[in-house]
Each structure stands twice: as structure tokens, then as C-alpha cells.
Copies of this chain bind each other. A is one copy, B any other.
Amino acid sequence: MQTQGQVRSANLAAVLACLRDDGPRSRAQLAAGTGLTKATVSSLVGELVDRGLVSEGGLLRPGSVGRPGTLVELAGRGTCGIGVEINVDYLAVLVLDVAGEVRRQARVALDTAALEPAEVLARASAMTAAAHAEHPAVGVTVAFPGGVQGSVVRTAPNLPRWVGTDVAAGFAELALPVRVANDADLSALAEWSAGPHAHVPDLVYLTGEVGVGGGVITGGQLLRGSTGLGGEVGHLALTPGDAACGCGRTGCWETVVGLAALLRAAADPGDPLRDPGRDLEDRLAEVADRARDGDARTLAALADIGTGLGVGAAVLVSLFDPAVVVLGGYFAQLGEFLLDPLTQALGARVADPHRVVLSTLGFTAAVRGGAHVALQPVFTDPTTVPLEASA
């Protein structure tokens, strides 16, 4: 009773994957799509219905002669994954069902750096519990802006107090599997699982936040590295000897293209843009306004950032050879002013610069990726979802 069940799990997963990737379809189409027999598919679909993962929809439109098939589709209700994001100035939660629909979404501003981690965790846990009460979930994934090993924070340049904190422990009362991961890594997975570049197996994601984050997917797998720090791009040593970085070294890429570098170059100390009390998005909107008004200094600052991005992106493109580089965070928000100098710098260093695009997921990328990861076990082994008694 060991390996036999694995066949069953694998085939259940194959049916789910077919429904997810190709949309609702009849049992006959599923049989064609998975290579299994109609009889087997019927049995598998029956089990998936019993587990509440799929449901029978309407009839398939006839199209031609013959008995019309009954549509099978991923069940919107019943099984969800929750993504939670803890970041420097906000908390966010997003609930995704197996059909890939967003069922709930929340974001609250919170000056995380000023609070105790325990206090922040309590709030995040409460938000998650509320989501779980409304949409029962099979797991939670927490996105955190730093390096994480297991569920313990190892490095957190912008939230130094969190180093050593066990983030998962803060969600223990939920009695759900809780994973913790780097926010940029999860954002990369979100770009991979949804959006216009879904399932591109080689993808690099760069996000401009307070720091610079990166997530790399190669061969359809997230690059983790031996200690979970793989794909971290913020502290690439590209221009040694330049500005000091929060990490203690000099010349990190972050010091060139981070948000701080942009604001410093775009405005003098007295400028409202450099008021640390103001909301970041407001300030970014103002930068965009000034750029659109043709303010020379702003445009020059943005061009410098774009060039810096291109220089670093050249290294990433050379090493990872991705099909697409996705820019998120503030890079996406100000992308229209960054892409030209970026492409120019990139083109001078690699053969094919035509693969940098802006993320369309906005600031929900990390939570969406987290919810996606939380749902992953369902798709790899559907038998982990219990049979519904109501059947």
C-alpha cells in the first residue's frame, strides 16, 4: 500500500494540473489531456469531487454531434491558501482558492520597524485568522523582507530587530502549516504562477523596495542556494569602493539602484520627497509627476537608476539566461522612465536585451506567491485534502 497510492496521487495531481492549466473540461477531454483512460479519469474525478477540489459544472456546449460532456472544473469554494506579508511599513494578506481566484485581500499600513516583532506577529496572525475563518485554508506562507532559514529570520537589513525571530511560531494558534520565505522569492513565484509570463521556466524578478530584492526561477524551480540566500541581488558587489551599504560593505547594487539612492539623487535634503514620515507610494507618485512634468533633475536621477539597473541586469542575464526579467516594486511603478536607459545599458553588455518587462501584479506579488506556495501541496498530492463527510 505504499507505491500504489503514489500512482493514485500522481494521477489525481495530473487531473488537477490539467484543469488548472487548460481550464474546465469534460472527463473525455481530461482523458485525452492526461493520457489516462476514460474509466480511470471518471474514478479520479469522483475522488476529487469527494475531496471538494473539483465540481461538476454545466454541460459542455455540443459543438458537434454526440452526447455532450459534463464540465469538470476546479472548485472555487472549499480549499484555499493564505499568503501573508510582513514588510517595513505594512502588513498584507491574500487568500487564493484552488481555481486561482483571489477570495480575500487586505492590506494595512503599519510601521513595523517601530514595533516589537511579537506585536507585529500578533496583528498579522489576527489578520490571518480572520481570513482563515472565512476561507478555510490548507496552509499559510509568510513573506518576509530578508533571509530566512527554516522559519527563523537570519538577515533583515531593513528590520534588524527581527533577526533570530521564529516567524512561524507567531502563527502557531492557527494550527496550520506555516512556511516563511523571502518576499522577493515569493514574488518571483507569483510572476511564475500568474500574470502574462506564467510558467516561463526561466525568470528573474527584481523588486525595488526600501532595498532591492531578487528572486530567480531556473528550470521551473526557485533558486534557493545552500543556505537559502540564493538569488539575493541587493548586495551584489558591482562597484566596490562606492557608497557604504547597510550591510557593512561598500558598493552593493542596492546603494546604486535602491529607493534611497533614487530619492537622494532626485531631491535635496529639505525636499518633501525625502521626508521619511510620508507614505512611500505618495512620494513615488510625486516622483512620477515631476518626471512627467519634465523636471530635469528627476529625469536624470531616474536615468541613472535605469542605467544602474541595466548594469546589474546584464550580470543576471549573463548568468541565468532568463527568458524574461520582470521588474516589480517601485521599478514597475516608475518603469516608464527606467526602461529606456536600462535597455541601453543592458544592450551594451549582453546579446539580447529585449526581455525586460514590468510586473502587472503590483504590490500583491509577494502575498500572491505566498498563497500559491501554501496551495502547492494540494496540487502535488491531492490526497492531503480530507474527504468531505457531506458526500
Q: Any chain B CB within 8 A of the CB of A43?
A: no
Q: A348 to B252, alpha carbons, bound, how many Å?
A: 12
Q: A318 to B147, alpha carbons, bound, how many Å?
A: 13
Cβ of B35 and Cβ of A319 under 8 Å apart? Answer: no
For this chain, the copies found in one complex come to 2
Residues of B within 8 A of A316 (CB): 319
Q: A11 to B6, alpha carbons, bound, how many Å?
A: 12
Q: Any chain B CB within 8 A of the CB of A240?
A: yes
With A3-B10, A6-B7, A218-B223 given, is the CB distance from A237 to B314 under 8 Å? yes
CB contacts under 8 Å to B, within A195-246, are: 200-202, 216, 218-219, 221, 223-233, 235-238, 240
Residues of B within 8 A of A216 (CB): 319
Cβ of B249 and Cβ of A230 under 8 Å apart? Answer: no
With A249-B349, A348-B249, A349-B240 given, is the CB distance from A320 to B219 under 8 Å? no
Q: Which of B7, B202, B221, B232 contacts A230 (CB 8 A)?
A: B202
Cβ of A321 and Cβ of B4 under 8 Å apart? Answer: no
Residues of B within 8 A of A218 (CB): 218, 221, 223-225, 230
Q: Any chain B CB within 8 A of the CB of A311?
A: yes
Cβ of B201 and Cβ of A320 under 8 Å apart? Answer: no
Give me 6 other A-B pairs in contact (C-beta within 8 A), A4-B7, A319-B319 excluded.
A3-B36, A218-B225, A226-B322, A236-B315, A236-B318, A240-B311
Instruction: Give the interface of A toward B (CB within 8 A).
Output: 2-4, 6-7, 10-11, 35-36, 200-202, 216, 218-219, 221, 223-233, 235-238, 240, 249, 311, 314-316, 318-323, 348-350
Top 6 nearest A-B pairs (CB, nearest first) are A225-B321, A226-B323, A237-B349, A230-B321, A202-B226, A229-B321
